[in-house]
């Protein structure tokens, strides 16, 4: 009996059946090192780095250390699991696996994974919060279609409801 035999076919799985695979994004290994568009990270704030001030960039920025102040980029921001940001963030896409205290503006998408925590107001076009992710603050969803109301509200206030006339219990008037 060969326990480690290579003649046995692999057990059926989603990967070898052509089915989509759902990965647990809460684990550290599942937090991507790059943004969803597979662009390279141009700026990396390492775990042993602390920055105070205004940070401006054009490309993708990953934060695994501590940043205080303001972050602005035309690219994307990834706050790694060990990252701590006490700053406002303005970027195209933002993924939070660490902690952010400050207001966030994402022109496209904000994603808070299971280990992520955001305390502050957000303005985004798209928002995804995984189970376990924390968000405390107010949210504004920006979209061209959402700027106009879906229907018109009545211009006058509703009249109070009137109560029907009551009659006596014996039926007489």
Phi-psi bin for 132: left (phi > 0), alpha (psi -120 to 50), beta? left
Q: Where are the domains of the chain?
A: 29-144
Give the chain's mean pLDDT. Answer: 77
The closest alpha carbon to 73, from 88, 86, 90, belongs to 90
Give yes or no for a contact between 111 and 125, defined as CB atoms under 8 angstroms apart: no
Q: 28 vs 122, which has greater pLDDT? A: 122
When mean pLDDT is compared over 38-42, 43-47, 143-147, the highest value belongs to 43-47
Predicted pLDDT at 153: 63
CA 122 – CA 68 distance, rounded (Å): 18
The SS3 assignment for 162 reads coil
Mean predicted confidence (pLDDT) in 147-155? 63
Mean predicted confidence (pLDDT) in 139-153? 70
Mean predicted confidence (pLDDT) in 18-22? 36
In the block, residue with structure tokens 């109560």: 163
90 pLDDT more than 60: yes
In the block, residue with structure tokens 């280990």: 115
Interior CA angle at 158 toward 156 and 163, to 5°?
Answer: 150
29 pLDDT more than 80: no
């Amino acid at each position: 009996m060969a326990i480690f035999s290579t003649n046995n076919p692999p057990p059926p799985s989603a990967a070898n059946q052509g089915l989509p695979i759902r990965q647990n994004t809460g684990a550290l290994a599942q937090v991507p090192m790059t943004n969803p568009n597979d662009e390279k990270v141009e700026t990396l704030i390492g775990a042993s780095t602390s920055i105070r001030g205004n940070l401006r960039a054009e490309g993708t920025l990953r934060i695994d250390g501590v940043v205080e102040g303001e972050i602005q980029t035309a690219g994307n921001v990834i706050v790694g699991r060990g990252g701590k940001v006490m700053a406002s963030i303005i970027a195209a896409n933002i993924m939070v696996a660490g902690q952010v205290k400050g207001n966030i503006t994402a022109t496209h998408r904000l994603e808070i994974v299971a280990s992520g925590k955001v305390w502050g107001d957000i303005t985004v076009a798209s928002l995804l919060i995984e189970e376990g992710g924390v968000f405390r603050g107010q949210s504004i969803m920006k979209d061209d279609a959402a700027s106009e109301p879906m229907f018109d509200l009545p211009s006058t206030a509703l009249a109070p409801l009137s109560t029907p006339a009551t009659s006596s219990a014996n039926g007489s008037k």
